[in-house]
Structures are given as C-alpha cells and as structure tokens.
Amino acid sequence: MTPTISVRGLTRRYRGHLALDDVTVDIEGATITGLLGRNGAGKTTFLRILAAQEFPSSGEVRVLGATPIENDAVLRRMVFVREDQTYPDIRVGHVLRAASWFYPNWSAEVADTLLGAFDLPACRAVKKLSRGMRSAVGIVVGLAARAEVTLFDEPYAGLDAVARQTFYDHLLADYAEHPRTILLSTHLIDEVADLLERVVMIDRGRIALDADADTVRGTATAVSGAAAAVESFAAGRLTWNRRTLGSHTSILIGSPLTESDRVWARTLHLTLTPLSLQQVVVHSTTGASTGTSTGAGAAGERTKRSPA
C-alpha cells in the first residue's frame, strides 16, 4: 500500500542552519499523528514542505502518491492550517466562502457548527479578530475542508482552554465520521495525548521518535522506593533522571518493562508509575539535548549494573 505521506531523506538547509536533516518517515492511511518537538525543531518547515509552500534542499516528498509541488491534483486534497496563517482583507464569512469554492469535500454544516461553537462573528473582518479568534478561523477551515490530508501546525495559538477542547472534540467527532490522515503539530502534548494514534518527534531537524502513541506511553516508567532496591532494579537499564531524598530514590527508566520486571518490582516493594506522553517527550528530548547516549528512539544514560 502506498503511504499517504512518504518522506525520504528530506533535508532543508538555510544559510548557516539545518532545519531538517535527512528525515525519513511514512504515514499511512487514516490516522491522527502528533508531530511533536521543541520550538525551532523543524516541525513547521516539515509541514510547509509537505504542503509545497517550501522547497526541500534534497530528498523526496510524496503525498497521496505524487509530489505535491505544483501539483493541483494533490494540493486540492490537502489542507494546511498554519499558526501564522495570514488572510487578505476579508471577513470571516468570506474566508469560509472562499474555502468552499476550492475544497471538494467542504462541509458547510461543519463550518456552520464550528462558527457557532467558537462564537466567531461571520461579518467581522479577519484583521479585526483577536489572536485566538483568528486561530479559530483556521481551525474551521481545516476541519470543514475534510481534506484527505489535513495538516495542523500549532493551530490554536491564543485560544483559551475551552476553545481548545472544542477543537479536540470536533476533530475527533469528525474524524470518526470521516477518517482521514491528520498531522497535528503541537506543544500541548498532554492535551492531545488521547487523540493521537501515532507520535513523530522531531528534534533539531531529525526524527527522534516515530512510534505508536500507545507504545510510547509504555516506554518510560518512574520507579521509586528504597534507594538500594531502586538502584538494583535500574541497573543496566536506560535511565533519564534520578532523585534521592534520604533513603528514598526515584528513577525514570526510559525502556519498556516486561511482566517479569513488574513482578520483581513488586517483590522489591517498588512503586511503578508510567510516564505520560508529554513526560516521555520532554525527557527524551532533554536527554538528547545534553548529548547523552541514545536508545530506543530516546536519549538517556545506561546505569551500571551493580553487583548483586
């Protein structure tokens, strides 16, 4: 099966800066993928190249089986909502009207519902809107377009928590009804964690993590208990962080635990707490930035196995 999005050896070099470095990733079929990473990691550049708004320095990008560059047949099946989306001097209703002329699967019903949900005034000029309301306009376009490939780049800048939840709810509801390939770049990982089926993390222009969200969630565990028992348990494993308070120690283990590991932990009276998606991403990225050794798509350090 041809991947919906296929990227091979994608590199984007700017003067004195490598925004994307040999990125290779495939995204297949209907799925919601979280594109995660720190500021300046290369997420926006990656999405702009997918949408043919930017050009790669080298590498190959194929969307829906073909290059998106100057390819109307592909582009009309994609929608890309940018954080910094600009509009001409037109009103909110005009934006939606224009979008309805170009997207073959445009849903006026979804647009109308979201307009009400975000309390957007259709007759107001876009340039008169607040930052958050302008973001909401982009979200309405992105969802109502029902494009086969939907790219959201930090679409909710300035949106309050209630409006963000509205976005998540409608995204999930419409996705369930009309499954499509959705790529959502975000910083608010915990907020979207339940939406994501897959996670692609970019760190300094490179793919740092590419896995199913459920797999990532089970990747890391906080192990706490008596210092000696914790150290014994963590010996030889990939660890990200350790904190000791008196005789009590807590260590973040960055590799999956087996069932026998859990039995052993119970025997040692250790507490195991799975890390959230955001914690996994934060720790793996922080580890990478400090240049420690990497393993299983995440960075950390491997503790020395102490004598039993």
Partner 1 sequence: MNTAIRSTDSTDSTGFVSSARPAGPLGTLVAVARYLLLDRVAYCFAPWSALLFAFAVDIAIIGLLPTDHSENHWVGGLSAIYVATFVIGLQSVTKGLAFGLTLGLSRRTYYQGTAFLAVGFAVVTGTVLTALRALESATGGWGLSMRMFQVPYILAGPWYEAWLTSAVALTLLYVYGGWWGLVHRRWGLLGLIAFAAGQTTAVLAATVAATWTHTWSDVGHFFTTLSAIGLTGLLAALTIVLAAGGFTTLRRVTI
In the complex with partner 1, the residue whose CB is nearer, 102 or 267, is 102
Shortest distance in whole angstroms from residue 205 CB to partner 1: 17
Q: Is the dihedral of CA 65, 201, 118, 89 positive or negative?
A: negative
In the complex with partner 1, the residue whose CB is nearer, 149 or 298, is 149
Shortest distance in whole angstroms from residue 41 CB to partner 1: 19
In the complex with partner 1, the residue whose CB is nearer, 105 or 303, is 105
Q: Concatenate the DSSP letters of all residues of the chain into one string.
A: ---SEEEEEEEEEETTEEEEEEEEEEE-SSEEEEEE--TTSSHHHHHHHHTTSS--SEEEEEETTB--TT-HHHHTTEEEE-TT----S-BHHHHHHHHHHH-TT--HHHHHHHHHHTT--TTSBGGGS-HHHHHHHHHHHHHHT--SEEEEESTTTT--HHHHHHHHHHHHHHHHHS--EEEEEES-HHHHTTT-SEEEEEETTEEEEEEEHHHHHTT-EEEEEEHHHHHHHHTTSEEEEEEEETTEEEEEE-SPPPHHHHHHHHHTT-EEEEPPHHHHHHHHHHHHHTT--EETTEE-EEPPPPP-
Provide the binding-site residues for partner 1, judged by CB under 8 A.
29-30, 48, 51-55, 70-72, 75-82, 85-90, 93-109, 111-112, 115-116, 122-123, 141, 146-148, 178-181
In the complex with partner 1, the residue whose CB is nearer, 98 or 211, is 98
Shortest distance in whole angstroms from residue 167 CB to partner 1: 18
Shortest distance in whole angstroms from residue 134 CB to partner 1: 12
Shortest distance in whole angstroms from residue 74 CB to partner 1: 9
Shortest distance in whole angstroms from residue 72 CB to partner 1: 5
In the complex with partner 1, the residue whose CB is nearer, 51 or 270, is 51
| Cα first-last separation, the chain | 50
In the complex with partner 1, the residue whose CB is nearer, 107 or 224, is 107
Shortest distance in whole angstroms from residue 200 CB to partner 1: 20
In the complex with partner 1, the residue whose CB is nearer, 81 or 238, is 81
